[in-house]
Copies of this chain bind each other. A is one copy, B any other.
């Protein structure tokens, strides 16, 4: 495999790089900012790309925020964009449910393990859901009636056809027990004759094991709810976030992009760079302001190797500064 090309401080290489692409898919956490701290020169860099006629699409695995909330954050940081230029794992999941799964009523309801970002995107696609931020599921401990109602399905909703799990800061045993009941098909009376034995389809927005925050790590969507459910049922969910190619297909379908003229920019090898490589994009660019460093992709067991790298995204201004 060819070595990754280093662009920082090399104006002619940067010009050649920019000329290769029409569209840049840009990860947010670790590329544009760390938490609330935007890296130096980021707004100017995005503006530069746009002034050269490049399309900038923001692609994030964070499911807790909707596209509108991401738009608000990008705008408040001075990064020019439109709501339509944002693609999150919650939106990816909603698109998958509405346009690929196309569940027939009445079994078209989604049980949500997650926050408001998922709910907003399901609503935008007109998908009915329960769970999520509903205070009725924000409960600690189990009453005997809770066990009984989940076991015989009497307290479950017979219309649930999907369990969608993402990052949920309010995850608890009561919610997990409900999700597990739907994945087992406890809510379907005639389970033997039902599709897939009455079991709900298991989807995940993303399976990141940890969530980088406050210069430390916290339980990610993959750990706090998804592996718990997988460990009980023995089944893995279809994950709709990077590096899932279901997300790439959705991005391509929406933006009608030419993959050979598209570059994925990110800080994580096993999500961002792998996403671009497996999607056969024209290029991938790693930045060193987030999770992975150069030594990570120089290992023989690296999940993916970027075609280009820069110290930080703002180094792309090199040619024009």
A152 interface hit (Cβ, 8 Å): yes
- Residues A151 and B231 in contact in the complex (CB < 8 Å), given A141-B169, A172-B172: no
A14 interface hit (Cβ, 8 Å): no
CB under 8 Å from chain B, chain A span 209-239: 209-210, 213-220, 222-225, 227-229, 231-232
Smallest distance from the beta carbon of A299 to chain B beta carbons, Å? 16
A180 interface hit (Cβ, 8 Å): yes
A255 interface hit (Cβ, 8 Å): no
Question: Are the C-beta atoms of A216 and B186 separated by less than 8 Å?
Answer: yes
A26 interface hit (Cβ, 8 Å): no
A86 interface hit (Cβ, 8 Å): no
Q: How far is it, in angstroms, between the C-alpha of A151 and the C-alpha of B217 when the chains are bound?
A: 7
Number of interface residues of A (CB under 8 A): 40
Q: Inside 8 A of A224's CB, which chain B residues have their CB?
A: 173, 176, 228
Q: How far is it, in angstroms, between the C-alpha of A177 and the C-alpha of B211 when the chains are bound?
A: 11
Question: Are the C-beta atoms of A223 and B216 separated by less than 8 Å?
Answer: no
Q: How far is it, in angstroms, between the C-alpha of A223 and the C-alpha of B177 when the chains are bound?
A: 11
A138 interface hit (Cβ, 8 Å): yes
From A71-79, A142-150, A285-293, give the one contacting chain B: A142-150
Question: Are the C-beta atoms of A223 and B214 separated by less than 8 Å?
Answer: no
CB under 8 Å from chain B, chain A span 40-77: none
A273 interface hit (Cβ, 8 Å): no
Question: Are the C-beta atoms of A213 and B176 separated by less than 8 Å?
Answer: no
A171 interface hit (Cβ, 8 Å): yes
Q: Inside 8 A of A217's CB, which chain B residues have their CB?
A: 180, 184, 232
Closest residue of B by beta carbon distance from A170: B140
Q: Inside 8 A of A168's CB, which chain B residues have their CB?
A: 173
Per a CB cutoff under 8 Å, which of B142, B169, B220, B229 touches A223?
B229
Q: How far is it, in angstroms, between the C-alpha of A59 and the C-alpha of B61 when the chains are bound?
A: 45
Question: Are the C-beta atoms of B151 and A214 separated by less than 8 Å?
Answer: yes
A108-127 vs B, CB cutoff 8 Å, 1 = contact: the mask equals 00000000000000000000
Smallest distance from the beta carbon of A209 to chain B beta carbons, Å? 5
Question: Are the C-beta atoms of A223 and B232 separated by less than 8 Å?
Answer: yes
Q: Inside 8 A of A177's CB, which chain B residues have their CB?
A: 218-219
Per a CB cutoff under 8 Å, which of B186, B210, B214, B228 touches A227?
B228
Q: How far is it, in angstroms, between the C-alpha of A177 and the C-alpha of B222 when the chains are bound?
A: 14
A-B contact pairs, 28 of them (CB 8 A): A138-B140, A138-B141, A140-B172, A142-B169, A147-B214, A150-B218, A151-B214, A151-B215, A151-B216, A168-B173, A169-B173, A170-B173, A172-B173, A173-B224, A176-B219, A177-B218, A180-B218, A180-B219, A181-B216, A209-B231, A217-B232, A219-B228, A219-B232, A220-B232, A222-B231, A223-B232, A225-B228, A227-B227
